[in-house]
Structure 1
Amino acid sequence: MAKSAQFESDAFVGKKPDMTPSTAHLLMDEDTRTSSFSLNKRSMVLDEDRFEDRFLRCNVCKARFSNVSLPRMLTCHHSFCQPCIDRLYSAAKAQRSTNPTPLRCLPLSIPVSAVIISCPVCKGAFIATDENVKKLPTDHRIVQLMDFVRHTDRYTVTFCSVHRLPLNFFCDQCIQPICRNCTANSHKEADGHLVIDLEDAMVKYSPVLDNLVTEMEAESICLEEKLICLESVVKNVELVKVDLLGQVRSCVSKMRDLLNAREKALVAKVHQQTGMERNKLQEKSKQLTDRRQMLVEKTNKLREAKDKSMIEEMFKIHQEVRECRSEPRLRVREVDDGIMTTFYLNTQDEATLASRINNFCDVVSKVQTTSAKVKPQRNNFLYRSSSFR
């Protein structure tokens, strides 16, 4: 493993290429050069997953080192967990048992049961015994890295949707987090954009965000009260609906009773008028029937007397017929052109009454204020102003 202060380059992302002072002096002025150097310094963003896989996990079993499973360092400075080292030692002992020939060129102080273990990374060999396998030193560099990661706040790395690089900068002009490539393309300082570090932006805008959260929570509480009030109003509307329906039915029922009474009166009048006319016509019909019957009888008697040459009887009947016909003519009407009487319903007020019925009563609404209106404060929303400069 490399020294603890030298992390391998593939454990980091977003590192900006180095720029020598001479090149920077040729390309930009003093202020721009200072800003560029600060960007170089701030653009080191740690990829925690790759860092953990490279330094904080065993290279054999890929288990993460912990206080229970500490990293044990071999003589080649590569570290593994104790269970993996024990398995390597057991495998070497098993192979040694199949070939009991003593190891050559070993100091006399080395036990005969010693075996040779090869490092899984560099393939370097070292002599191992039961005693020194259990006493391998702990790799305190990895322990320090574990402690550093454990005591460091964990942030979610957000990547730029355009360049797929971490958003580790902030454009104060646009109030927008940006990546390293954005600082050289759409958010150039030469175009008037002020690029600052994302952490500095969080420190700067945290009070504004806190105020915004407070106002949003206050507005949320106010809206919740409004919702409770609206629920009560909805229930009240249902009660008002029932009451209004009762009033409508009662009012229309009264009108219906009046119309029913008027209907009964009109029906009675129809029966009365038509009944009187029928009786009158029946009386006239009886008179006409009696006169016709008398004329028929006289006609038959006169014809019979004439046929039998009954002179006296014939002229007697003739005299009776003349007297009967000399009476005033029986008339049904003064103008006897027809005897049919026509009845009709006078509906001259029907249109006016229908219009009044259509406009009879109405349901109107009246707005009542139940609580104060919500007036959200918008003074501290994120927008660019002189207070942020």
Structure 2
Amino acid sequence: MPQLPHIHLQITMSYYVSTSAIKDLLTECPICTEHFDEATRTPRRMPCCVQSICEACLETHSRGRLAISCPMCRHQHNLPGGVKSLPKEPVILRILDNLKIVKGLNLPRTDCTDGNPAMSKCDDCVAFLCQECLNAHKRVKTLRDHHTVSFQEMKEGPSKNFHRVHKCAQHHLPLQFYCNTCDKIVCVSCTVVEHKEGKGHNVVPVDDAHQERAKSIEDTLAKLDQKSEKLLEAEKDLQKRYSGIEESTKVAVVDINTAFDKLMDKIQQRRAIMLSEVEEKSSNLLKLTQEELDSTRTILTKVTSSTEYTRQMRGKADKIEDIQVMESSAATLSAMLELSPKASLGRAGVSFASTCFSKITTFLKMAGLVKSVVFTPIENSNPDDSLNNAITFEHAEVPQAAYMTGLPLGVKGSISCK
């Protein structure tokens, strides 16, 4: 989104910060990626995953329901007071105030009845002051030693020196104490009412509570750093394993295809041989049958033509001529009775016997073996070393067909086909 002119920002964005001003800061909602502000996109801290999400996104996500799942980690929350009951993120709001000063935008006024623009800040009171309030502040005897800083000085100093007013929502007094019993930051009025020590509440100054909890959180963060290192190593190992599985899968696929292509070549060669044998045997049988057929046809032609000729001649001859025909043809006709074709083959043909095919099918069921090696976690007595793994082997199941041959696995043998 193009940046608007600076003058336009001063007029229309008194409670907003330009994109360029916060591009390096964590002031962007992780859901809508819009920048936080104090108007509609107030940063609300999610207690489940230590993330801040703008109020507008949470309202959209909750759809007015009092139960909401965190948009980041899906943890369920019951919010009787709605989204607004989630705490604001004070650090982000403080960064926004500091950026407003740096960019010259209007700032919230503190305890100024006239609503004059703030010009400076009191570090002791943690309050913004207009010029008139600053003058009055310096005239009060008890406040003369307070350290005040002008906005110009704040612009030139580091942002970490910028402080935001933290007041009790109930009594509107500075939050200066911490109740260990209730785990709540309170003001001085709270210590004598709701969090009174006489009622069993353990109240300490904020500085003491901060020191104690800072040590605890630093220890936790240090352990999380160690855990992050282990998780990073685990991530690298898992990524390496993932890549290895992908690569080994490709190799296995190539090996399987190669093995079966070779097997198919052998099968095709065997088929070609058998088809050639069929052609050869069929050709021989057909040749013999054709010779027998030709011989039979020759004799048939001779017999039928001779008998027909004899009958026709006798039909036209008188008795004397008939006797002469019969005497001249009797021997020839009698000889024809002895004529026979070449030796008959009887029934002939070519057939295919699928000898050993059932055993070949059995062997195909166990042709090849796919194996895998699995790394499984084991119980460890050291809870801080939970990422250690033990190497175990998952043996691939041998197909049942392997046992149907009657031969031990791994032992060479021969099978005869009858």
Q: TM-score, normalised by structure 1?
A: 0.49
Higher strand share: 2
Q: Highest Rg: 1 or 2?
A: 1
| Structure with higher RCO (Cα < 8 A, 6+ apart) | 1
